[in-house]
Amino acid sequence: MTETTHPRTALPPGQRQIDFFPRFGRRVDQPPPTVPEHPTVVFGGALTTPIEIAVEELIGKDRRDLHADFHCVAGWSVTDLQWEGVAFAEVYRRYVAPALAPGTIVTHVRVRGLDGELFVAELDDLLADDVLLADRLGGRPLDGDHGAPLRLVNPAQYGYANIKHVCRIDVLAGAPAAGSPALVDRLLQSHPRARVWEEERHGTLPGWLIRPIYRLIKTVMLSAAARHSESGHQSNAK
Ligand SMILES: Nc1nc2c(c(=O)[nH]1)N[C@H]1C(S)=C(S)[C@@H](COP(=O)(O)O)O[C@H]1N2
Ligand SMILES: [Mo]
Protein backbone atom coordinates (compact mmCIF):
# COMPACT_ATOMS: atom_id res chain seq x y z
CA MET A 1 0.00 0.00 0.00
CA THR A 2 1.20 3.47 -0.73
CA GLU A 3 0.27 6.34 1.48
CA THR A 4 1.35 9.72 0.30
CA THR A 5 -0.41 13.00 -0.06
CA HIS A 6 1.95 14.10 -2.83
CA PRO A 7 1.97 13.11 -6.50
CA ARG A 8 4.17 10.06 -7.00
CA THR A 9 5.74 11.55 -10.10
CA ALA A 10 7.17 14.60 -8.38
CA LEU A 11 10.20 14.86 -6.14
CA PRO A 12 10.28 17.29 -3.21
CA PRO A 13 11.94 20.68 -3.85
CA GLY A 14 15.69 20.61 -4.43
CA GLN A 15 15.92 16.79 -4.70
CA ARG A 16 17.39 14.73 -7.56
CA GLN A 17 16.70 11.08 -8.20
CA ILE A 18 19.52 8.54 -8.13
CA ASP A 19 19.17 4.92 -9.22
CA PHE A 20 20.76 3.10 -6.31
CA PHE A 21 20.32 3.20 -2.54
CA PRO A 22 23.67 4.06 -0.95
CA ARG A 23 24.77 3.48 2.61
CA PHE A 24 24.89 7.09 3.74
CA GLY A 25 24.77 9.32 6.78
CA ARG A 26 26.85 10.82 9.50
CA ARG A 27 28.52 7.57 10.52
CA VAL A 28 29.55 6.13 7.15
CA ASP A 29 33.18 6.45 8.17
CA GLN A 30 32.49 3.64 10.66
CA PRO A 31 31.38 0.07 9.88
CA PRO A 32 27.72 -0.65 10.67
CA PRO A 33 27.24 -1.54 14.34
CA THR A 34 27.20 -5.18 15.44
CA VAL A 35 23.66 -6.47 15.85
CA PRO A 36 23.07 -8.47 19.05
CA GLU A 37 21.91 -12.06 18.59
CA HIS A 38 18.54 -11.24 20.14
CA PRO A 39 18.00 -7.56 19.33
CA THR A 40 15.64 -5.52 21.47
CA VAL A 41 14.35 -1.99 21.76
CA VAL A 42 14.29 -0.26 25.15
CA PHE A 43 11.44 2.19 25.65
CA GLY A 44 12.08 4.84 28.27
CA GLY A 45 11.71 8.49 29.13
CA ALA A 46 8.33 9.40 30.58
CA LEU A 47 7.37 5.78 31.31
CA THR A 48 6.80 4.57 34.86
CA THR A 49 9.60 2.07 34.22
CA PRO A 50 11.57 1.41 31.03
CA ILE A 51 10.51 -1.62 29.03
CA GLU A 52 12.62 -3.79 26.77
CA ILE A 53 10.95 -5.59 23.89
CA ALA A 54 12.43 -8.04 21.41
CA VAL A 55 12.44 -6.74 17.84
CA GLU A 56 10.68 -9.92 16.76
CA GLU A 57 7.84 -9.27 19.19
CA LEU A 58 7.60 -5.62 18.19
CA ILE A 59 7.10 -6.53 14.56
CA GLY A 60 4.50 -9.06 15.65
CA LYS A 61 2.12 -10.70 13.26
CA ASP A 62 0.60 -7.70 11.56
CA ARG A 63 3.57 -6.92 9.33
CA ARG A 64 2.91 -3.95 7.06
CA ASP A 65 4.13 -3.14 3.58
CA LEU A 66 5.12 0.38 2.60
CA HIS A 67 6.25 1.58 -0.80
CA ALA A 68 7.89 4.94 -0.38
CA ASP A 69 10.54 7.30 -1.68
CA PHE A 70 13.56 8.18 0.47
CA HIS A 71 15.02 11.68 0.55
CA CYS A 72 18.40 12.60 1.99
CA VAL A 73 18.96 16.20 3.02
CA ALA A 74 22.11 16.21 0.88
CA GLY A 75 19.79 16.21 -2.14
CA TRP A 76 19.49 12.64 -3.40
CA SER A 77 16.27 10.67 -3.53
CA VAL A 78 15.58 7.01 -4.23
CA THR A 79 12.10 6.17 -5.42
CA ASP A 80 9.81 3.30 -4.59
CA LEU A 81 11.64 1.39 -1.90
CA GLN A 82 9.67 -1.46 -0.41
CA TRP A 83 9.78 -1.60 3.38
CA GLU A 84 8.12 -4.01 5.77
CA GLY A 85 7.62 -3.60 9.46
CA VAL A 86 5.21 -2.36 12.08
CA ALA A 87 3.55 1.05 12.18
CA PHE A 88 5.16 3.30 14.79
CA ALA A 89 1.63 4.35 15.85
CA GLU A 90 0.78 0.70 16.50
CA VAL A 91 3.87 0.24 18.70
CA TYR A 92 3.01 3.44 20.53
CA ARG A 93 -0.56 2.30 21.13
CA ARG A 94 0.42 -1.25 22.11
CA TYR A 95 3.41 -0.68 24.40
CA VAL A 96 4.09 2.98 25.14
CA ALA A 97 0.71 4.54 25.90
CA PRO A 98 -0.23 1.92 28.54
CA ALA A 99 3.14 2.37 30.31
CA LEU A 100 3.06 6.16 30.58
CA ALA A 101 3.18 7.75 34.00
CA PRO A 102 -0.31 9.09 34.79
CA GLY A 103 -0.96 12.61 33.51
CA THR A 104 2.00 12.60 31.13
CA ILE A 105 1.55 14.39 27.82
CA VAL A 106 4.16 13.20 25.37
CA THR A 107 5.29 15.81 22.84
CA HIS A 108 8.61 14.45 21.54
CA VAL A 109 10.27 11.12 20.85
CA ARG A 110 14.02 10.49 20.88
CA VAL A 111 15.02 7.60 18.65
CA ARG A 112 18.53 6.22 19.08
CA GLY A 113 20.60 3.79 17.03
CA LEU A 114 23.22 1.25 18.11
CA ASP A 115 25.88 3.57 16.63
CA GLY A 116 24.84 6.39 18.98
CA GLU A 117 23.11 8.42 16.27
CA LEU A 118 19.82 9.96 17.36
CA PHE A 119 16.98 12.19 16.28
CA VAL A 120 14.32 13.90 18.39
CA ALA A 121 11.02 13.99 16.51
CA GLU A 122 7.71 15.55 17.39
CA LEU A 123 5.33 12.78 18.43
CA ASP A 124 2.72 13.86 15.87
CA ASP A 125 5.21 13.46 13.01
CA LEU A 126 5.78 9.83 14.02
CA LEU A 127 2.11 8.97 14.49
CA ALA A 128 1.44 9.51 10.77
CA ASP A 129 0.07 6.53 8.91
CA ASP A 130 3.19 5.87 6.83
CA VAL A 131 5.78 5.79 9.63
CA LEU A 132 7.23 2.33 10.17
CA LEU A 133 9.71 0.57 12.36
CA ALA A 134 11.00 -1.57 9.51
CA ASP A 135 12.94 -4.82 9.65
CA ARG A 136 12.81 -5.67 5.93
CA LEU A 137 13.72 -3.89 2.70
CA GLY A 138 13.10 -5.16 -0.82
CA GLY A 139 11.75 -8.46 0.50
CA ARG A 140 14.84 -9.27 2.56
CA PRO A 141 15.90 -8.67 6.16
CA LEU A 142 17.54 -5.26 6.57
CA ASP A 143 21.30 -5.46 6.21
CA GLY A 144 23.91 -3.48 8.11
CA ASP A 145 24.08 -0.84 5.39
CA HIS A 146 20.45 0.18 5.76
CA GLY A 147 19.78 -0.21 9.46
CA ALA A 148 19.73 -3.77 10.80
CA PRO A 149 18.05 -4.91 12.90
CA LEU A 150 15.32 -2.23 12.81
CA ARG A 151 15.04 1.27 11.39
CA LEU A 152 12.63 4.12 11.55
CA VAL A 153 11.13 4.94 8.16
CA ASN A 154 9.31 8.23 7.79
CA PRO A 155 9.05 9.19 4.11
CA ALA A 156 7.85 12.71 4.97
CA GLN A 157 11.09 13.50 6.82
CA TYR A 158 14.66 13.77 5.53
CA GLY A 159 16.94 10.77 5.88
CA TYR A 160 18.57 12.06 9.05
CA ALA A 161 15.27 11.57 10.88
CA ASN A 162 15.08 7.96 9.64
CA ILE A 163 17.29 6.50 12.35
CA LYS A 164 18.91 3.15 11.56
CA HIS A 165 19.84 0.33 13.97
CA VAL A 166 17.13 1.46 16.42
CA CYS A 167 17.81 0.24 19.96
CA ARG A 168 16.18 2.83 22.19
CA ILE A 169 13.09 5.04 22.04
CA ASP A 170 12.48 7.65 24.74
CA VAL A 171 9.19 9.47 24.94
CA LEU A 172 9.50 12.99 26.28
CA ALA A 173 7.07 15.41 27.91
CA GLY A 174 8.63 18.44 26.22
CA ALA A 175 11.43 19.38 23.87
CA PRO A 176 14.84 18.38 25.27
CA ALA A 177 17.13 21.24 26.25
CA ALA A 178 19.57 22.15 23.52
CA GLY A 179 23.19 21.34 24.30
CA SER A 180 26.14 23.28 22.94
CA PRO A 181 26.83 21.44 19.72
CA ALA A 182 30.22 21.23 18.03
CA LEU A 183 30.79 23.60 15.12
CA VAL A 184 30.18 20.96 12.47
CA ASP A 185 26.85 20.12 14.12
CA ARG A 186 25.86 23.78 14.16
CA LEU A 187 26.78 24.09 10.50
CA LEU A 188 24.69 21.08 9.56
CA GLN A 189 22.09 21.64 12.24
CA SER A 190 19.01 19.50 11.73
CA HIS A 191 15.53 20.98 11.56
CA PRO A 192 13.24 19.86 14.40
CA ARG A 193 10.60 18.69 11.91
CA ALA A 194 12.76 17.96 8.85
CA ARG A 195 9.77 17.72 6.50
CA VAL A 196 10.92 17.16 2.93
CA TRP A 197 7.96 18.75 1.14
CA GLU A 198 8.41 21.92 3.21
CA GLU A 199 12.16 21.77 2.50
CA GLU A 200 12.98 21.96 6.21
CA ARG A 201 16.60 20.98 5.63
CA HIS A 202 18.28 23.06 8.29
CA GLY A 203 17.56 24.36 11.79
CA THR A 204 18.14 28.03 11.05
CA LEU A 205 18.95 28.55 7.36
CA PRO A 206 16.29 28.31 4.62
CA GLY A 207 16.43 25.09 2.61
CA TRP A 208 17.26 26.71 -0.74
CA LEU A 209 20.22 28.54 0.79
CA ILE A 210 21.82 25.46 2.33
CA ARG A 211 21.23 23.31 -0.80
CA PRO A 212 24.59 23.98 -2.48
CA ILE A 213 26.54 23.03 0.65
CA TYR A 214 24.71 19.74 0.96
CA ARG A 215 25.09 19.17 -2.78
CA LEU A 216 28.85 19.35 -2.39
CA ILE A 217 28.73 16.81 0.44
CA LYS A 218 26.50 14.63 -1.71
CA THR A 219 28.90 14.62 -4.63
CA VAL A 220 31.84 13.58 -2.50
CA MET A 221 29.98 10.98 -0.44
CA LEU A 222 27.97 9.44 -3.26
CA SER A 223 30.99 8.61 -5.36
CA ALA A 224 32.42 6.66 -2.43
CA ALA A 225 29.06 4.96 -1.84
CA ALA A 226 28.72 4.03 -5.52
CA ARG A 227 32.08 2.26 -5.41
CA HIS A 228 30.97 0.38 -2.29
CA SER A 229 27.64 -0.66 -3.81
CA GLU A 230 29.38 -2.31 -6.76
CA SER A 231 30.71 -4.85 -4.26
CA GLY A 232 27.17 -6.21 -3.90
CA HIS A 233 25.33 -4.90 -0.87
CA GLN A 234 21.59 -4.35 -0.45
CA SER A 235 21.99 -1.15 -2.42
CA ASN A 236 19.65 -1.90 -5.29
CA ALA A 237 17.01 -3.55 -3.17
CA LYS A 238 13.60 -2.18 -4.06
N1 LIG B 1 21.86 5.07 13.19
C2 LIG B 1 22.01 5.92 12.16
N3 LIG B 1 20.91 6.28 11.46
C4 LIG B 1 21.03 7.13 10.42
C5 LIG B 1 22.28 7.70 10.06
C6 LIG B 1 23.42 7.29 10.79
O7 LIG B 1 24.57 7.69 10.52
N8 LIG B 1 23.26 6.39 11.84
N9 LIG B 1 22.35 8.58 9.00
C10 LIG B 1 21.10 9.23 8.57
C11 LIG B 1 21.17 9.89 7.27
S12 LIG B 1 21.83 11.44 7.23
C13 LIG B 1 20.65 9.32 6.15
S14 LIG B 1 20.58 10.13 4.66
C15 LIG B 1 20.11 7.95 6.18
C16 LIG B 1 20.82 7.10 5.16
O17 LIG B 1 20.21 5.84 5.12
P18 LIG B 1 20.85 4.68 4.23
O19 LIG B 1 22.26 4.46 4.72
O20 LIG B 1 19.96 3.52 4.42
O21 LIG B 1 20.85 5.21 2.83
O22 LIG B 1 20.22 7.34 7.43
C23 LIG B 1 19.97 8.20 8.52
N24 LIG B 1 19.91 7.43 9.73
MO1 LIG C 1 21.22 12.31 5.08
Per DSSP, 145 falls in state G
Global pTM reads 0.92
Site residues for ligand 1, CB cut-off 6 Å: 21-27, 72, 113, 115, 117, 145-147, 159-160, 162-165
Which ranges of the chain have pLDDT less than 50?
1-2, 236-238
d(CA 208, CA 78) in angstroms, rounded, equals: 20
| pLDDT computed for residue 75 by the predictor | 96
CATH 3.40.50.300 fits 13-22+32-174+187-237, yes or no: no
Q: How many helices (H) and strands (E) does the chain have?
A: 5, 11
Residue ranges with CB less than 5 Å from ion ligand 2: 72-73, 159-160
Closest-CA residue, ligand 1 atom 17, reads 24
Instruction: Report DSSP letters for 60-127, one per residue.
Output: -S--EEEEEEEE-TTSEEEEEEEEEEEEHHHHIIIIIGGGBPTT----EEEEEETTS-EEEEEHHHHS
| pLDDT computed for residue 2 by the predictor | 46
- At residue 185, the 3 state secondary structure works out as helix
Where do the domains of the chain lie? 13-22+32-174+187-237
Other C-beta atoms closer than 10 Å to the C-beta of 35 total: 18
